[in-house]
Structure 1
Amino acid sequence: MPLALLALAISAFGIGTTEFVIMGLLPEVAGDFSVSIPTAGLLISGYALGVVVGGPLLTVLGTRIPRKGMLLMLMGLFIAGNLVSAVAPAFGLLLVGRVLAAFAHGAFFGIGSVVAAELVAPHKRAGAIALMFTGLTAANVLGVPMGTLLGQHFGWRSTFYVVAALGVIGFAGIAALVPVQPRAADTRLGPELAVFRKPQIWLALGMTVLGWGGIFAMFTYITPMMTEMAGFADSSVTWLLFLFGVGLFVGNLLGGWFADRALMRSLYVILAVLAVLLFAFTFAAHSKVGAIVAIPLIGVFGFATVAPLQKRVMDQAAGAPTLASAANIAAFNLGNALAAWLGGLVISAGLGYDAPNWVGGLMAAVALGIALFSGALERGAGGVDTGGVGVGGKVVARGGTAAEETVTAGR
C-alpha cells in the first residue's frame, strides 16, 4: 500500500479522536463552564450536525480545487477548530471550535475516500478506503482512552492541544506523501449533483443511515446497559469500550478485504449477521459473559459495513464521486443521530436500557432489505450486484474463470 495512505490514516486518527473524546470529558467541561451535563452534550450533537451540513457544503465549495489542496485546507480548518476549542474562554466559543472541526471531518473523509481509492489498483480500492478508516477505528481503541486520561489529569484543554498537534502531523504527511492528482477535465458542480438523480445513490445512502445507525443505537447507551443490567462496575466500562474498539478495528480491515472481492454479497452477509447480533444483545446484555462475547462481535460486523458502504456510493457515482462520497459521510452521522434519538425514545417509553438493541436490529434488518432491493434492481437492469470491481465508469464482473469476464458499461 502507498505511504500516502498512512498520511490519510494519521489524519483520520486525529479527526476520530476529536469526535469521540469529548464523551469522556463532558463532566470536566461542564464543571469548568458551570453548565449542566445535558448542555455540555451539545458539543456532541453540534459536532454531528457540523459533519452533516459541513461535509457536502465544503465539498461543493471545493469542486474546482485539486483534491490534495482541498485535503490540506481541510486539515488546516481541523487544526484551527481544535485550537479554538483549546483556548475557548466561554462555552459558546468551544461549541464554535467543535463545529469548525466537524466541518473538516465530513469533507475530509468524503474526499479522502476518493483519493485513497485512486492511489491503488481498481481491485484494491475498498481495501485502500478501509486502510484510511483504520485511523478512525484506532482513535476509538487508543486515541479516545488516552485523550480522556490526559484531559482528566492535565485538564480537558490539553487534549485539544494534543489533537491539534496530531492535525499538524497529518497535514505534513499529506503535503509530503499524497501525490498531486490531475484535476478532472470537468470541474463543474452539475455532474456532481447529477448523480443524485440515480435511485441507486439514494438506496446506497439509505443503507448507510440504517446499517451504521443500527450499531450506534447500541453504542450510545452502552454504559447504562452494562452498569444497570449486566452488573459491571463503572470502572469496567472503559475495558468494554476497548473490546468494542478492537472489534471496530478488525471489522474495518475485514470489510475492506471482502468488499474488494464481492461487494454486495459482503453487505448482504454483514448486515444480516449484524441484525442477528443486535437482536441477540437484547438478551446478552443481561449477562457479563454474554456482553463480553457480544460487544466485540458487534464491533466487528458493525464497522465491517463502512468500507463496502462507502465504496458502493462511489461506484454508483462513478465519474463524479466526490460530492456523493461526502454525502455518505454525512449519512453515517445522520444514522448516529437517528439511532441515538430512537434509542432514547424507547428508553423514555419505559422499555428498558436493552430496548435500543432491538431498535438497532430493526434498523440493520431494514438496511439489509434495501441492499437486497438495490441488488435486484441492478440485476434487472443487466448489471452485476456481486463481485463487481468499479473501474472508472465501468464495472468488471468476474465470472467463474478469467476468460469469462464481462464488462458492463454505464454504472
Structure 2
Amino acid sequence: MKKYAYIGFLGFVAVITTEFGVIGILPQIAEHYKISIDKAGYLLSAFALIIALTGPFMTLLTAGFDRKKIMLISVFLFLVTGMISSFSPPFWILILVRILPAFLQPVYIATALSVAVSKAAPEKKNELMSIVFSGVTVAMVTTVPFATWISSVYSWEYSFIIQTIVSLIALLAIYFMLPSMPVKERKSSGSQLKILSQPTFILSTATNFFMITAWFSTYSYFADYLNKAKGMNETMISYMLFVFGIIGVLSTWIAGKMLNKNVTKTTAFFLSGTVLIPVLLHISNGNILSTIIVIGIWGFMYSPSFLNASTYMISSVPDSLEFANSLATSFGNLGVTLGTTIGGWIIVTKGVEYTPWIGFVFGLLAFLMMIFRSILEKKENTAMVCKE
C-alpha cells in the first residue's frame, strides 16, 4: 500500500532533517561554541556512530513490538532533540540529546520499510522502498536547505526549530493515519543472525560501508567546502543545498525504477559518482557556473546512495529484510562516522579542498567489493549447475 510508504516517507524526512540538518550550520556552531570545525563535526559523527554500534541489536530487541508504537516513539525522540537543541545548551548536552534518538533511528527505518512493503507484490517492493527513502532527498531539497537559510538570516538555533516542527508533523501523521500493526510472527534471532556468515552478504556490507564513507568524507563538510574551496557565502550555500536536493528527488525516483530491473548495475552506476565528482570539482576550480553544474551532478549521483546500499545488501538475503536493512543502516552510518572523521582530519591537517579525494579512494574500494561479490556469485551459480 502506497499510503504506508508515504507515512514512512514523512518520518524519514524528520529523521534525516535531524541527522543531516547540522551539515549546513556546522561552521556557525563551531563559531558559537569556539571550537574547531572537526569538533563540531562530532554532532554528525557521534550520531552516526551510535547508529552503527547499536542498530542491529536494537532492531532485534524491538522486533516483537507493535510497529506503529515503535515508529511513534522513534519520531518523538527526534522531536525532543530538536526542541532542546534550539535552546543552544552547553556543547556536551547538545551532543547528548543528539545521541539519544540515534538508538532508535535504524529501528524506525527498518520498521518503516517493513510496513511499506508489508502488503506489496514482490515486483513492487523496491519501488515502495524508494518512496520511503525519497524522504532523504526531499529533506535535502526542503527542510535541510531551508533550515540552513533560516540560520543564515537569524541564527543557527532556528535550524533546530525547523527540525522540531518537521518531527511534529511526522508524529501526527503516524498517530492518525497508520493503524495498529502488531507483529504476528516474530523470526528468531538465531535465524536472522545466520546472514552474518554468508560471504555475499559480508561483501555487500563492505560495499555499503565504503560507498557511504566515500560520499560523506566531503558531504559532511558541504558548507565548509563550498565556503572555503569555492568562495560561496551562507545564502549561496543554502541555494546549493536546494539544487543538490531537488535533483536528488528525481534521481531517487529514477534509482527506484532502475533497481526493479537490475540492482547491481544500478548500484554501480550511482557509485561511479564517488570517482567522478572529485575530478569534476577539481576541474571546475573557482568557476561558479561550472561548480553549480557539478553540484547538480553530485546531488544526482549521491542522493540514492542509502537506497542503493540497502537494496544491494538485501538482494543477497531477500528473506531477512528488516535485520538486513538495520545492518545496512548501521554500516552506512559507520561509513558516515569514518567519512566525517577522516574528512575533519584532512581539513585540519591539509585543507578542505582535499576532502573529495578521500571519496575517490573509498569509492574504488567499494567497486572492488562489488567485483568480489560478482565473482563469488558466478562461482556459486556454476557450482549449483554442476550439481544438477
1:379 alignment partner in structure 2: 378
Contact 1:277/1:298 (<8 A) preserved: yes
Structure 2 counterparts to residues 201-216 of structure 1, below 5 A:
201-216=201-216
Q: Secondary structure at the match of 2:275?
A: helix
**Letter of the aligned partner of 1:363 in structure 2?**
F
Q: Percent identity?
A: 21
Contact 1:81/1:98 (<8 A) preserved: yes
1:219 alignment partner in structure 2: 219
Contact 2:247/2:300 (<8 A) preserved: yes
Q: Secondary structure at the match of 2:340?
A: helix
1:367 alignment partner in structure 2: 366
Q: Distance in 1 between matches of 2:75 and 2:87?
A: 19
Structure 2 counterparts to residues 298-317 of structure 1, below 5 A:
298-317=298-317
CA drift at 1:193: 1.7
Which shifted more, 90-99 or 289-298? 90-99
Which whole-Å deviations, capped at 9, do the CAs of 1:183-222 have from their partners, x for residues lacking one? 3534322222221111222211111111222222232344
Task: Indicate how the Cα distance of structure 1 residues 145 and 299 shifts in structure 2: closer, same or farther if over 3 A, else same.
Answer: closer
Q: Distance in 1 between matches of 2:348 and 2:26?
A: 22
Structure 2 counterparts to residues 61-210 of structure 1, below 5 A:
61-86=61-86, 89-151=89-151, 156-181=156-181, 183=183, 185-210=185-210
Contact 1:130/1:252 (<8 A) preserved: yes
Q: Distance in 1 between matches of 2:308 and 2:21?
A: 26
Task: Indicate how the Cα distance of structure 1 residues 308 and 132 shifts in structure 2: closer, same or farther if over 3 A, else same.
Answer: same
Task: Indicate how the Cα distance of structure 1 residues 36 and 349 shifts in structure 2: closer, same or farther if over 3 A, else same.
Answer: closer
Which whole-Å deviations, capped at 9, do the CAs of 1:370-395 have from their partners, x for residues lacking one? 11221222232129xxxxxxxxxxxx
Contact 2:273/2:302 (<8 A) preserved: no
Count of paired positions: 382
Q: Distance in 2 between matches of 1:330 and 1:367?
A: 17
2:253 alignment partner in structure 1: 253
Q: Distance in 1 between matches of 2:232 and 2:159?
A: 28
Q: Secondary structure at the match of 1:183?
A: coil
CA drift at 1:261: 1.0
1:282 alignment partner in structure 2: 282
Q: Distance in 1 between matches of 2:28 and 2:369?
A: 42
CA drift at 1:260: 0.9
Task: Indicate how the Cα distance of structure 1 residues 227 and 159 shifts in structure 2: closer, same or farther if over 3 A, else same.
Answer: closer
Task: Indicate how the Cα distance of structure 1 residues 362 and 279 shifts in structure 2: closer, same or farther if over 3 A, else same.
Answer: farther
Q: Distance in 2 between matches of 1:273 and 1:167?
A: 31
Which whole-Å deviations, capped at 9, do the CAs of 1:83-108 have from their partners, x for residues lacking one? 34345754333322111122232221
Which shifted more, 353-362 or 10-19? 353-362
CA drift at 1:344: 4.0
**Letter of the aligned partner of 2:99 in structure 1?**
V
Contact 2:59/2:326 (<8 A) preserved: yes
Task: Indicate how the Cα distance of structure 1 residues 180 and 381 shifts in structure 2: closer, same or farther if over 3 A, else same.
Answer: farther
Q: Distance in 1 between matches of 2:232 and 2:86?
A: 33
Task: Indicate how the Cα distance of structure 1 residues 60 and 330 shifts in structure 2: closer, same or farther if over 3 A, else same.
Answer: same
Q: Distance in 1 between matches of 2:225 and 2:43?
A: 23
Contact 1:285/1:354 (<8 A) preserved: no
Q: Distance in 2 between matches of 1:279 and 1:163?
A: 34
Which shifted more, 181-190 or 57-66? 181-190
1:402 alignment partner in structure 2: none
Task: Indicate how the Cα distance of structure 1 residues 180 and 204 shifts in structure 2: closer, same or farther if over 3 A, else same.
Answer: farther
**Letter of the aligned partner of 2:318 in structure 1?**
A
Q: Is 1:355 paired with 2:323? A: no
Which whole-Å deviations, capped at 9, do the CAs of 1:9-44 have from their partners, x for residues lacking one? 111111111122223444665676x55355544323
Q: Distance in 1 between matches of 2:139 and 2:36?
A: 24
2:339 alignment partner in structure 1: 339
CA drift at 1:276: 2.7
2:244 alignment partner in structure 1: 244
Q: Secondary structure at the match of 1:209?
A: helix
CA drift at 1:179: 4.8
CA drift at 1:152: 5.4
Task: Indicate how the Cα distance of structure 1 residues 95 and 262 shifts in structure 2: closer, same or farther if over 3 A, else same.
Answer: same
Q: Secondary structure at the match of 2:261?
A: coil
Q: Distance in 2 between matches of 1:172 and 1:312?
A: 32
**Letter of the aligned partner of 2:48 in structure 1?**
A
Task: Indicate how the Cα distance of structure 1 residues 344 and 27 shifts in structure 2: closer, same or farther if over 3 A, else same.
Answer: closer
Contact 1:50/1:103 (<8 A) preserved: yes
**Letter of the aligned partner of 2:197 in structure 1?**
R
CA drift at 1:145: 2.4
2:321 alignment partner in structure 1: 321
**Letter of the aligned partner of 1:354 in structure 2?**
E
Task: Indicate how the Cα distance of structure 1 residues 264 and 182 shifts in structure 2: closer, same or farther if over 3 A, else same.
Answer: farther
